[in-house]
Structure 1
Amino acid sequence: MERLAILVMMGLAVSGCSNIGLLSHKNDPMFDGIRFGGKAKAQDANTERQHFVSTVKPVSKSFDGAREAAEYKGIRHCIEYFGTSEIDWQVGPDTDPAALVIENDSVTYMGTCRDA
């Protein structure tokens, strides 16, 4: 729970930067000492941004760090587009790590932003 509170606070701080063009991967926090590449994007950007996919890599550098980075990118997406960090995860931080699919050195989470 403490980790989620920290991620939410980071997301709130970063969301203020997005309006002034400071939001980039270079500003993303490090997880387990690594800055992970990747993004969260809408599954269908043409119709709605509420359902998203968050993918980060390289998982081979730190499995736990990659999972935290994928959660962070999902939270950041929801704050940017919906003003909330509340997410219903289909595959996410509470998913059994053994059940996660690692493909091309990437981990992917899927979630739905709740309306603010």
Structure 2
Amino acid sequence: MTKKMFLIGILVATTAVAACQAGSERVAFDGKYFRTKVTKVDGKRDVFTVTVRDVAQSIAGAREAGRHEAVSYCVGTYGSSDIDWVVGPDTPELRIVDNAIVFQGTCPQ
């Protein structure tokens, strides 16, 4: 292998690693990472649920991870961070099932 091919290989590998890191949007909440998923309700874009898994790590962190995911969804879909919550991160008593919580809200249009 020539020196030029070696340098090109290093450049390609470095670019690939940087691209993977740039696409990663993982954010820690209360020092923990949570798996989250937004789902449209009945095919409506403005009505959604957010499922947050691994709640046992930190309920406070799970609440904020859910809020973050919902805000990201509404900003990306409608350009606004406003949310009308049915069950949200500030709901006093959350129902935890299978180590997950589910929030439901609407992005006002």
**Whole-angstrom distance in 2 between the partners of 1:65 and 1:57:** 11
Aligned counterpart, 1:100: 94
* Bigger Cα displacement from structure 2, 63-72 vs 35-44: 35-44
The answer on whether the counterparts of 1:41 and 1:77 sit within 8 Å (CA) in structure 2 is no
Post-superposition shift, 1:82?
0.8
Aligned counterpart, 1:111: 105
The alignment partner of 1:64 has SS state of: helix
Aligned counterpart, 2:49: 53
Post-superposition shift, 1:23?
8.9
**Whole-angstrom distance in 1 between the partners of 2:22 and 2:34:** 15
Q: Which structure would you say has the larger Rg?
A: 2
TM-score (norm 1): 0.70
**Whole-angstrom distance in 2 between the partners of 1:23 and 1:62:** 27
Q: Number of aligned pairs?
A: 89
Matches within 5 A, 1:20-39: 26-39=24-37
Cα gap change, 1:23/1:78 in structure 2, threshold over 3 Å: closer, same or farther? farther
Cα gap change, 1:38/1:88 in structure 2, threshold over 3 Å: closer, same or farther? same
**Identity score, percent:** 37
| Structure 2 unaligned residues grouped into runs of 5+ | 1-20
CA RMSD of aligned residues (A): 1.8
The alignment partner of 2:84 has SS state of: strand
TM-score (norm 2): 0.75
Aligned counterpart, 1:64: 60
| Structure 1 unaligned residues grouped into runs of 5+ | 1-21
After the TM superposition, which parts of structure 1 deviate over 6 Å for at least 4 consecutive aligned residues?
A: none
**Whole-angstrom distance in 1 between the partners of 2:48 and 2:101:** 14
